Amino acid sequence: MLVLLPPSEGKTPAPPTAPPLDLAALSHPGLTPVREKVLDALVAASGRPDACEVLGVSPGLADEVARNTTLRDAPAARASRVYSGVLYAAAGLDALPPAARARAVASVRVVSALWGALTVDDAVPAYRLSMGTDLPGIGPLAAAWRGPLGVELAEESEGRLVVDCRSAAYRAAWTPAGAHWVDVRVLRELDGRRTVVSHHAKHTRGVLTRHLVTRRGREPRDADELAHAASALVGDALHAVELGPAPRRGPRTLSLVVV
């Protein structure tokens, strides 16, 4: 099983006394050359007078953008701690018992606009950059990462169930191949009608992620086993779990229904 997550927009900086970023120590070393280029381009763009406009963020986030200029020397902490948005709060990946933590390190990958792909134990600083950015010197980031991630993640996902919890922007950076690819979507049911939700979708995908790394027994190996595993959440976090039919191309869809 390989669970793919997007990063959170909100990030918690590492303590000031934490060691600085060490690119060579990150997992997936094949991504290091691209990480170097994207990092240099981000530092340069973040020092521009129009940095917020270039990075597509509001002026209210100017302090976070300015922090990008010191990323090479910034203190770093585990990704499971730095990423602190709704999905990660629900997943609780920084507060797992040892066996579940080992499973999370082996099975969860964060697809990032700056780092490409991370394990939950990779130490990185807080930063501000989204995959939808057209970064000066690099271009559209999803396109820049597509080739390198295609090598790294294709090899890692071979023969494994891919549980895709990414948003569309991050899914554009790499498309899994093979039969065992499941796209997780979240629907809200109200008065008999179902609609796609966004904020609650992040929470629900986080709940599913935590369930998959903490549940007892064998990891799910295909879409049917994933749906069966997720059904344990019905009555508590979920109203229903529905697995769509296998398409000719692309992923199967696992719908998590909330009320």
Alpha carbon 196 to its chain's center: 19
Q: What is the pLDDT of residue 49?
A: 97
Predicted confidence (pLDDT) per residue in 4-26, tens digit: 999 999 899 999 999 999 999 99
Q: What is the rounded distance in angstroms from the CA atom of residue 28 to the CA atom of residue 17?
A: 26
191-243 pLDDT, tens digit each? 778 888 777 899 999 999 999 999 999 999 999 999 999 999 999 899 999 99
Can you tell me the mean pLDDT for 131-160?
96
What kind and span of H or E run contains 241?
A: strand 240-243
**Can you give the pTM of this predicted structure?**
0.96
pLDDT tens per residue, range 161-189: 999 999 999 999 999 987 799 999 999 88
**First vs last C-alpha separation in the chain:** 28
Given this model, what pLDDT does residue 193 score? 80
pLDDT per residue over 66-101, tens digit each? 999 999 999 999 999 999 999 999 999 999 999 999
How many residues are present in the chain? 259
